[in-house]
Amino acid sequence: MAEGASAAGLALDAAALAAWRAARDWHGPLDARGQVGALRRLLTLDCADRSGPAGLAEVAEAAILRWRADPRYRPGALRRVSAALGTS
């Protein structure tokens, strides 16, 4: 998003942006498994993998980094771009 905002003319602090990039934890948990309230159950009633992105340009940088670094991370939503991501 920051790249798009910058391309649109928004002035960003380059040092702050670099510090944010360095501090990101793309290994972090993807959900809060401890929450099992009524709203969470309702939101997951019809839960299935999305069809996912059609091209690599539609995949978040964090997902690409995680895919390449963690062979256990293979969400079904990325199945269509798995060849472009490299490895199985």
pTM given for the model: 0.51
**Cα 16 to chain centroid, rounded:** 21
Q: Which residues contact 79 (CB under 8 A, 6 or more apart)?
A: 49, 52
| Tens of pLDDT, residue by residue, the chain (88 residues) | 777 887 888 888 889 888 888 887 777 766 656 656 777 777 777 766 668 899 999 999 889 999 999 999 999 889 999 999 987 5
Residues 49, 29: Cα–Cα separation, whole Å: 18
